[in-house]
Structure 1
């Protein structure tokens, strides 16, 4: 049974003779990638008591998990900044005034009067979904592997030095594969294997790799068979549209076939999706009162999946939340306002 009239910072909940404490917040941000962390910072500026809930064990989201060493070129103010440094800066901006909870994948959101209850632990006045593409799992390398082989197959890494002096195979044709190749070619013998001659990643990355001349391009090939010999992976590569088969050996391989991302979990809260993305209005509100969505989790006509745009959406959403929670207040829109 809930006792909504109890005063103070917490509410006692009595259920089956057990007493638990529900913590109260103005805002819960689900997702601690760059956009979620910036939203927490902007919420702090406006005096919102905020908690951030992240399903992964570390903060920073996919950039921190997949390419912490990568130089990001499209963050406002910075000419370039690594994903790791961006994460550190965003966390530092919070000044320890925002509660950060990792390894917590939100399951249940229930209405409780004018508030929302998250997983029976947190009572919040509003929720902001900033989960990017959602909980993600890497698409597995398609060949059968023994446990010993699996130890040599990687889907992400944080320290390039672990591959120094080794012969590496990188499978994939998107930005992640290209970024890995560009970083690791300086310290390892790298082969880049892709099923097409054209790459899906940025053309500038491809040009940079070709100019370096340090990467062995194996295209168009697909992996067909894998064995292990003398501590190395022997992978047969079949030419796409041809009969050529190459037997290549690697100390380790990195697989960048993408991730199976999913934000459909929000449907059980009543939140509507359009083409797999959370539908929002111009105030970043979903169809469910008190629930907002920003960043790559949301979709609307003309949206571009860039971190900087997510930052702007965070500001729009926070301003909307402030107007909803404190309609009597005169809202300072931004620190450069002349009004």
Structure 2
């Protein structure tokens, strides 16, 4: 069956439908990772987005339940150049095309993803419609133009827990504010002996403190951080009361709690090879990233809020800390999944901060 990706600027990409049948609208973004497609598909940060993979061959090691970062795929759709029909891996439970169909993910193969990526880099992130079967490109263009991203609070609520979930009874105890968290984050804390309580995204400070946390983590997640007023207010109320750690969207929430502003990047950072320098040690780490917004440097008045990490490709803020309060955060994904493990040490740092 034929398939279509039509962007709001009128660009048309034809291909072969390889997932579920249907039509999906979303913000079209690209990821430069060579592996880790299943973790990307199930990363809640991709809610509301159609994901295009720049690496030309996807699906060669199939799909396995062990690589899920959520219970089911979170993307609106997937676009690839070539999808492997016969995966080869001892870990594989099934082929990627089967996985996509089972979970209702509309996907397109045979697309010139190099041309698509160049277009998104030049013009910035664009809205698009992904459709299977016979379609009118002009109709799809109009649909893409009319599409509006859902409010961030809806995207976050759709991807997160509805009630507190306890994961282990270890020490120290971490309360993880679920803004769209990947499973790997809790796994790495549990591996370090911590107990984790995952709470809904808009839990108030008292609903968090009732669990008697030794530290609070604000997770990654989808959408525009400027629309997360309730989470920012909760973070502001917790500053100075317990150690705080933010990852990706969580970093943006903590930065806003301290008076900073955020802004939208032209086409975002999504991939597994982004160089980030630790300004304290001078060391450079290869990092996993998946975000479309960043903290605006110099947009805050607090002299004790300082930049600790910087993206070496475009100079954007990749990490912050506070000199007086036990608070630090990074814009990238220190848990990887998929990607390098250079920054797992940040989880050790958080555990040490909670130990006093």
Q: TM-score of the superposition, structure 2-length normalised?
A: 0.26
Q: TM-score of the superposition, structure 1-length normalised?
A: 0.27
Bigger radius of gyration among the two: 1
